[in-house]
Structure 1
């Protein structure tokens, strides 16, 4: 790879990491590909609209970022755990 090509590749890696907020290139690729379908290819399910406090939103955002998943995934897992525990 030429010097220009190597620099361009480094710039692209840095941009991908910055855009996804991921710590590693592997995590960034997973995030950039998007979320998989929820139930093995079934059509999209219902959409829930909920309000949150800013503090809770920040905590959920931090958790999602640290795990490399969406806030929606965190909320789905939390709702499922709550229902299962009830």
Structure 2
């Protein structure tokens, strides 16, 4: 969790494996307090809305937007209420 990085002087290390080539990628990720706070606030907003049964506003206004088409929740997000 990004917020825990503030407890250490050293940055976190992000590691990914390319499944096609088996190449390992690593990157040092420094702590960003503002980003950590924004993401924490966002998580609280999502959890609060979910517990209340609310659907948050869509990120895009068109279901054919490329990010909407790749989203696993597209059907629920664009479903018409009956």
**RCO comparison, higher one (Cα < 8 Å, 6+):** 1
TM-score by length of 1: 0.26
TM-score by length of 2: 0.27
Q: Which has the higher strand share?
A: 2
Q: Which has the higher helix share?
A: 1
